[in-house]
Structures are given as structure tokens and as C-alpha cells.
């Protein structure tokens, strides 16, 4: 019944590989602590101390103190089986973070409109590094739970939102982002190389919208259009998603226009309401 969970294999993190010259983040102590936190939080399985030990590559004593601090702060909790789990303080932070998100608020009415036009699920996602973070959604059927994808992070290269966002990046930033990608096969259609992805992006750029042809999940298709501000500080996308049996590629072509219009309307509102520049 409920489930969610999804996938999102983003196993980056944990720069274990290079103990020597590990190239520590620029943010010193905080960065290291967050890196540990992220390892725990994004793991698909519960982690014990020594699991984290190998993933993080830190010395025992150091890691132990970092974890203790994270627990003291309520960002992690340790169950009686000694496994570390995400703590409630994270939820609290996120609620505030989400409810105050200006971009989401500005875009919300457009999402609803697009949903009314198409009848399928509409997503809003923001580009962050090599990931798309889902920021809002309007669901078709009010299924079970709200536990929508909000906050979920999916790779750029296999989602409509991701490809739409990438397609408008200035060449420099695009190259930089592509360079950081590591590909993972989710379905038979997943892009597995930068070259293949780049061709797809070129088409998307010309058309003004991108598809997901069951590249992330089988039986799931979507069409997405890019949103960005003048300075490309904000790069995002809006999409309509549906099951393949109900949503043909022809249907997606038809929806492409409304999706683009919604995207453009949001882009405009962003410039107006969040101020030029930003």
C-alpha cells in the first residue's frame, strides 16, 4: 500500500575512494558533518556505525564524534539496533523550507491550470547540480497519500524535467554538468552516455520541450518544458506525466504546447514577482 520510495539511485556521496588527498569540501567541519548526514539519509538501507565508517572514509574516532553530534542535534536518531536513521528535526526544517518557497508559490496556480487541461499528474522540479528536486506536484487521482515525490531527487539524465532544464543551460554550465554525470541504467531506454544525452538535449532545445520515453521507469512517460530566470540562477521545469497505456507519444505531442505555455507563464511571473535578476 503505500509506498513511495522510489528509487533515485543517486549513489554519489561518500567519496570513499581517495583517502589520501581526499579533497575535502570547502566548508570544513560543517561540510564533513553534512556529508555524513547525507550518506545516512540517502542510503537505501539502515546503516550501522561501521557501514558509515567505510562509506565516509573517516577515521573511527572522528566519525563517532560527528555522528554523536548529529544525534545530539536531532538530525539523526539511533535506534536500539544501533542503526542510524534520519531525525525529526529534518522534517521540521523542510516544512518551513517548502512552505516558504517563493518559486513554488508563484508557480502553483499554473500547475493547477495545467492539471485541469491535461487531467494527468503535473510536476514542478528545480535543477540542483546533477539532480532535479521535485518541489511541487498536482496529482491526477487523489490516490492514497500525499507522500508525493516532494523533495525527492532524481537524476537529470533520465527525467523529462531534468532534460528540459538541461536543454536551456548555457553551453559552459551544460558541459560542466554533463561532466559530473555518472549514468545508471534504470530502464531499457535510459541514456547511458553524455553523447546520447546531448543529442536528445539538442532536439529538446529546438522543440522547446523534452520527453521522458520510459527512461526512468517503464510504463511512465512525460513531457516537460524548461523554466529559468534571466541569470540562470534558477533553472527548473514543469511536466505532465502519465502511464504509457493511457498516455501515448502522440498525446504527449499534443500536451507539449500547454506545458510550454505554463512554463513560459511561470518564467514571466518569476521575473515579475521575484524581481528581475535574483
Is 82 or 175 the residue whose CB approaches DNA more closely? 82
CA-nearest of 144, 154, 160, 155 to 227 is 160
145 binds DNA (CB under 7 A): no
Of DNA, a second copy, none, which one sits near residue 226, judging by CB under 5 to 8 A according to partner kind?
none
Burial 235-248 (b: 16+ CB within 10 A, else e): bbbbbbbbeeeebe
**Cβ(215)–Cβ(196) below 8 Å:** no
Is 63 or 122 the residue whose CB approaches DNA more closely? 63
Residues contacting residue 231 through CB under 8 Å, at least 6 positions apart: 277, 278
16 binds DNA (CB under 7 A): no
- Give the interface size with DNA as a residue count (CB under 7 A): 20
24 binds DNA (CB under 7 A): yes
Contacting DNA (CB under 7 A), which of 3, 28, 79, 206? Answer: 28
Is 74 or 119 the residue whose CB approaches a second copy more closely? 74
Contacting DNA (CB under 7 A), which of 11, 48, 128, 273? Answer: 48
**DSSP code of 13?**
-
Of DNA, a second copy, none, which one sits near residue 60, judging by CB under 5 to 8 A according to partner kind?
DNA
d(CA 237, CA 234) in angstroms, rounded, equals 10
What 3-state DSSP class applies to 192? coil
CB of 78 to a second copy, least distance (A): 10
66 binds DNA (CB under 7 A): yes
Supply 4's cell numbers: 513511495
The sheet carrying 131-138 orders its strands as 153-155, 131-138, 121-128, 235-243, 220-228, 210-213
- 73-132 residues in contact with DNA (CB under 7 A) are 82
CB of 249 to a second copy, least distance (A): 29
Amino acid at each position: 500500500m503505500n509506498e513511495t520510495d522510489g528509487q533515485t539511485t543517486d549513489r554519489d556521496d561518500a567519496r570513499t575512494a581517495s583517502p589520501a588527498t581526499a579533497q575535502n569540501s570547502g566548508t570544513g567541519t560543517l561540510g564533513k558533518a553534512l556529508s555524513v548526514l547525507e550518506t545516512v539519509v540517502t542510503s537505501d538501507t539502515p546503516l550501522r556505525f561501521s557501514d558509515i565508517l567505510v562509506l565516509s572514509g573517516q577515521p573511527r574516532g572522528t566519525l563517532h564524534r560527528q555522528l554523536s553530534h548529529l544525534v545530539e542535534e536531532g538530525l539523526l536518531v539511533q535506534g536500539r539496533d544501533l542503526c542510524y536513521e534520519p531525525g525529526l528535526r529534518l522534517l521540521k526544517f523542510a516544512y518551513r523550507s517548502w512552505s516558504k518557497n517563493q518559486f513554488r508559490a508563484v508557480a502553483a496556480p499554473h500547475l493547477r491550470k495545467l492539471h485541469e487541461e491535461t487531467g494527468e499528474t503535473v510536476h514542478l522540479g528545480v535543477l540542483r547540480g546533477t539532480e532535479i528536486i521535485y518541489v511541487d506536484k498536482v496529482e491526477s487521482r487523489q490516490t492514497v497519500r500525499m507522500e508525493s515525490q516532494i523533495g525527492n531527487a532524481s537524476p537529470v539524465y533520465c527525467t523529462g524535467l531534468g532534460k528540459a532544464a538541461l536543454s536551456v543551460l548555457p553551453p559552459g554550465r551544460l558541459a560542466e554538468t554533463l561532466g559530473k554525470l555518472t549514468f545508471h541504467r534504470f530502464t531499457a531506454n535510459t541514456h547511458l552516455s553524455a553523447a546520447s544525452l546531448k543529442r536528445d538535449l539538442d532536439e529538446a532545445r529546438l522543440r522547446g520541450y523534452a520527453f521522458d520515453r520510459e527512461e526512468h521507469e517503464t510504463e511512465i512517460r512525460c513531457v516537460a518544458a524548461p523554466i529559468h530566470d534571466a541569470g540562470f540562477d534558477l533553472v527548473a521545469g514543469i511536466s505532465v506525466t502519465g502511464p504509457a497505456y493511457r498516455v501515448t507519444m502522440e498525446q504527449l505531442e499534443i500536451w507539449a504546447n500547454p506545458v510550454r505555455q505554463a512554463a513560459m507563464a511561470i518564467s514571466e511571473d518569476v521575473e515579475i514577482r521575484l524581481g528581475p535578476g535574483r
